[in-house]
Structure 1
Amino acid sequence: MENTTWVNNHTGRSDFDLVGLFSQSKYPYPALLCVVIFVDFLTALSGNIILILLIYCDAHLHNPMYFFITQLSLMDVMYICVTVPKMLVDQVMGVNKISAPECGMQMFLYLTLVGSEYSLLAVMAYDRYVAICLPLRYPILMNRRVCLILVSSCWLLGSVDGFMITTITMTFPFCRSREIHHFSCEVPAVMKLSCSDTSLNETLIYLCCVLMLLIPMTIISSSYSFILFTIHRMNSAEGRKKAFATCSSHMTVVILFYGAAVYTYMLPKSYHTSEKDMIVSVFYTILTPVLNPLIYSLRNKDVTRALKKMLNVRSVSQ
């Protein structure tokens, strides 16, 4: 009889319930929160798309650094679209269900994009290292072919990471409550629903995440250590200022993105609660895509100059 009940619990339902951010018990004004998130979503979309178009249209921005920035903006646009639209539609329609295949696909896309961004930030740090520390060899070391290989490798590593972790997570038997205490199919939240022992799989996922975070962080820290040493030795004050401004923009993005990722995937369970996990996820799912185009545009004279040029041309044509 117990086996029959277990099979019914395991196979009788193929969908999950997303508790989400808009639970009445947590937030007194869910409609206002929904509007704020919708505005942030539109801001992230418009900011990143404008940045991509600006770099594409301005010939002065056709260099490796801005090519990598377009890839970063593309990743931001894609992964904010993976989770936020469904969360907002569910709130409007009063539906909070997601099927198991949809949950797996959302998890795979999200992990792929986040993993790709981890690697891309390391590539961007290496690009700045070559540009500042090895300027004479920069055209050779960072030619178009090398840039395409590096970006393709980022996407490949991200997809492999997403496939492995999604496969491990979604093959668990889910025989407990089907309520995911999150607004998306986040791996830690989904694994809590399993009725089997997940300790070995959690260790494998932890090691995978450590590699995906540790290797890029090592590259980033090494690159910026050499960069800071080189900047300190520069004779030109203007050169030091320009190099430091560019690197500080990159480091701001790295700290924001990696800080949230370390909390989510590397800290022990004792540090986690459902509320904290959702707040941190909101930070790097919604706020980071909003901040990235602002960081790379407002703090970059080349981008602001290109934007002013585009606006002036448009006003003259009108």
Structure 2
Amino acid sequence: MTTPFGFASSAADVAAGIDLTGRRAVVTGGSSGIGVETARALAVTGAEVTLAVRDTAAGERVAKDIAAATGNRRVHVGRLDLTDPASVAAFAAAWQGPLHVLVNNAGVMACPEQYTELGWEMQFATNHLGHFALANGLHRALAADGSARIVVVSTTGHQSSPVDFDDVNFAFRAYDPWLAYGQSKTANVLFAVEATRRWREDGITANALMPGAIYTNLQRHTGGRGSGKVPAELIKTVEQGAATSVLLATSPLLEGIGARYFVDCNETETETETVDRRTGNLHGVARYALDPANAQRLWSLSENLLATGG
């Protein structure tokens, strides 16, 4: 599907004219990067917004700023550590009433090899497993709305690796930060595919997206600004980087639409082979990331990991 928006559109552009008064949204990682601008744009629409963050002090500062800038006082902060199942469970248990929009935005990129206390590789745990547990914990609240949306921030980096179902935690293969990142971002897309299949009857749809190349704290392990890996003309502002997330969260065009992958505010093409990164092409979604069988297998694997803690 296509929309009137594109590469240069900002979060404010796509949210213009949208009224979400009386509706509620959660944005993980809402205290930095595109999470801030996603939350700000949702607040402008009149939605009640909760920033789900590890650093609640930083979250409170952002919430105060958003409230002052938008006039929307219904901006809240909740503590959430995606690498800690107990923290995720506590956040979900504390939620009262319906939830209309869940934006799975928080993430880490290409970090040095590290593991959670349960032995899960950090990028897979943060980018996928934590969000998987959160969405499942909030399923009843999402279903209560009748037309809830889950927005999943993935990236073109998913084309670096499918999910290695036999070794998601790099127990048998040498750790590679980019393969681990790519695997976790593929998992994000597969989650959107299977969540839509499982929960569509509850009125819940999920879509994944590539926000674009934006310089934020996410790049702290990769050299950040000036690394030269993306042509300068393809670099977005933070406001532009949040646009696709906000579009999927708010646009009437997405009503009932799920299990798709968007770039620059439009559904992108499916790739059957690796895109040459030297061309600067950030579009495309790998065929394996949309495969229903892979999506079902990942869901089962994720349930098992969370159930056994290993």
Larger radius of gyration: 1
Report which of the two has the higher share of helix.
Answer: 1
TM-score bracket for this pair, using the shorter chain length: under 0.3
> What is the TM-score normalised by the length of structure 1?
0.27
- TM-score norm. by structure 2 comes to 0.27
By percentage of residues, which structure has more strand?
2
